[in-house]
Amino acid sequence: PHLIILDVSGRKYQTQKATLQTSPYFQNLLARWNDCNDRQEDGSYFIDADSDVFHHVLQFMRRPSKFPLFWTKETSFDYALYNKLEAEADYFLLDDLRDWIKKKRYLDAVKTVVEIK
């Protein structure tokens, strides 16, 4: 099947097999999923990861040229979320995302202008 349902610590995500294949981690899993017991009774595959952070991992796998920006004018950058996402990107072998965060390239995405009158 082209559609795969992932159970990430209790939260279900549905995605294309091709989307998961952008990650070497999932390439390895997909190669062995047909021959192992990772499949749950409901047909989903369990992934032991932070389900909230995995949402961003999956978004990146869907659009690998679109890097996440966790910034608001009120709170600035969400450094804690970037740290969590960097760890997950490293785990799922998404080197481009991991390196983008590690090099703090997100700082280049926002320009703040202070005007004194």
**pTM of the predicted model, to two decimals?**
0.87
pLDDT at 36 over 80: no
Lowest mean pLDDT among 8-17, 56-65, 95-104, 106-115: 106-115
pLDDT at 39: 80
**What distance in Å separates the CA atoms of residue 34 and residue 43, rounded to the nearest whole number?**
12
Domains, the chain, in order of start with CATH, read 3-115 (3.30.710.10)
Cα 111 vs. chain centroid, distance in angstroms? 25
pLDDT at 18 over 90: yes
